[in-house]
Structure 1
Amino acid sequence: MNNTTTAKHAPWWAPMIVPIVVIIVISVCYQAMANYLSVYVLQYLKGSATAYGLVGTGWTIIAMILRPSTGPLSQKFGSKTMLIIGLAIFAAMIACCGILLTFTGFVFFRLIQCVGHAWSYTSSNSLAAEAVPQSRMGTASSLFIGIPQAAAIVAGPWVAEALIGDDQNWFRFFVGIAAIMVAGLVLALIFVPGRKKHASDPGAAAKAAAAAEAARYDADGKPYTGIWKFLEKTSIPACITMIVASMAHCTMFFLTAYVAATYEGVSAAVFFTAQAVTEFLCRFWMGAVQDRKGLKVLLVPCCIICAVVYVCIAQGVTAWVVLGLVYGVGQAGIKAPLNASLMKACPANRIPVANGTFQMSNAVGLGLATLVAGVVIDAAGFTGMWYYCVALFILTAVLGVVLIREKNVK
């Protein structure tokens, strides 16, 4: 009785706390590598931007297969199982990159990292999304996507710079990040509830079994077949929009290399820190605005804001703190609101599948970002790349207006 009473009075967001902490660990490690692997490849390994982009394409292909499959696998084996396996693979492959500091080693181990990242990141997001009512999904998505994203943007670059050091020690960089991932693995093992814990409650176990069975059928009672076992149809418009938005987000991969090549002695970390400040603060009101007004009132102006920032960078503006602060506002209104819109649109028992579909689209976009932007850089320089991203942000806004249909928006 006491446990039931406590559960009734617990805040609606309380079940998301542990998944959010795990997502923060994954995101910080991913961000640290995303920001500085271009420097590692272009300067330390003496590779080309196109070669670096091709690795991103390989990541995309693997993500296209694994991220959508994470939902059904989680339904079969449990989200915690997929999370733990993913964290272990991700940590091990990051460490291996540090052991073999060659381009061949980077390509091989980086691609296997995608397996671990796909399973761990998608499962942890599903654990958070399943824990809250759909009526709160706008606010919830801002929390379980926004808080880790903001934390990663702040901590990732500084963690990377601290590990690399003035002596450019890439072994320490990779092994240090792997150690952080191991800490996340231990945290998940201890605090994330598994199937045995849920099985101790017959009512909860029966409810979970019924939900898993119901998830096999669409609204007309027909079983999902083909790719729709792994992809959620209602998610497709938001996912197409997300692919383009992720392709435009090239500061994540190339700003550090751009600053290092253009402004000697200047660190790009301050831009990411400033971005995270406003992005984090915006989470507290953007989610509530979306729950009341819908997606488009946020998406369109935020895409325009991001486009303006990239124009400024292309024009040689170096007010990195101001640019970061403004860019944070823009980014806050894109990924989390898109995620919330598709979660609201999908059936509650298809949330893991919808989340896997969305995470796949994000990975596809980021993979294409490194490939296409790398080709653009080699052909037209960094300036050409920034203007290419401006066009993509404008396209994102157009797609959001044209493709996404929202219900129950007051």
Structure 2
Amino acid sequence: MTAQLNEALLRGLTPGVLGILVRRGADFATAEDAVQEALIEALRVWPEDQPHDPKGWLVTVAWRKFLDATRAETARRRREDLLEEEPAPGPAAATDDTLQLYFLCAHPSLTPSSAVALTLRAVGGLTTRQIAQAYLVPEATMAQRISRAKRTVGEVRFDQPGDVATVLRVLYLVFNEGYSGDLDLAAEAIRLTRQLAAAIDHPEAAGLLALMLLHHARRAARTTPEGELVPLAEQDRSRWDTALIAEGVHILQAALARDRLGEFQAQAAIAALHADAPAAAETDWVQIVEWYDELAGLTGNPVVRLNRAVAVGEADGPRAGLAALAKLDSSLPRYTAVAAYLHERDGDLATAARLYAEAAQQASNLAEVAHLTRQAARLNASR
């Protein structure tokens, strides 16, 4: 079996193995370290000697490594009665603890960044180095973040009910990180959300999966070969992944049919309307505005109202969009960029050029800075 296949199999088995150790009485932090050591051992051994029961093999090796670590710590001798008997090797238990691990890693006591890191490590099966590279931080920094997160959730009972909304929010944060280094976080978020949606009967889990698929379907068209951003209206729609779009729409329709609307379903509905338009000029902006109204009612999020102003500008004309924009706080992220776009649509190129330049100074993403700067230069050159 190739190393790539080994890694994919191991990442899929990780949450189940960790869950078994925790249910046997292992503390979360030490168990998670033991599982990581077992994964490293598997990558070394399996290419030459693939076990018949990969999960059982991992459980046995991880449990032994947990015992070794625990016996080495005199401060944990109170666990000796629990740990004295090592379970005999054999088929792994069928219990799937993945869902409880999601809840544990997205515990409300954790900061969003810590919850994301712990989810990628404990549920995703990624190494600290991979996560650090994805977030462009030193490995030591990420190790400290994960270690603190494990200590924080170490005393949380494994059978406590979790908050689905928090888990979904963490997965959405992972997806929005997109791609950096050697790790595709968007693809990883989709994999984990598929796993969650299969484990839990919840329309918002399905809504989030649909949203991810619909956004990911446009990925190839979002940038030029040189890495420059391509606005949605200018994207080559023949490069959109129609299979992902079809899957996302199918999942969304099933979720909406349950009549339990949530914010991820509403966002996915907006993405589906964009995906359904053969060309930008054929986009159903009136219906998109209606969905933004639903989304604003669900969340009260001012960023939603900012995006709604763009949609209003497309549906009812740029001056209607500017009127909607004027009701919002000008300090909102991307407010100036939206104002620039709407002024350009209204024919006020001088104001639009000035606002694009201001927006470029405010942007934190280098690709966005470059895009806004080019927009300002284009308008200045045309006057």
With structure 2 as the length reference, what TM-score do the two structures score?
Answer: 0.26
State the structure with more CA Rg.
2
Higher normalized contact order (CA 8 Å, seq sep 6+, divided by chain length) = 1
Name whichever structure is richer in helix by fraction: 1
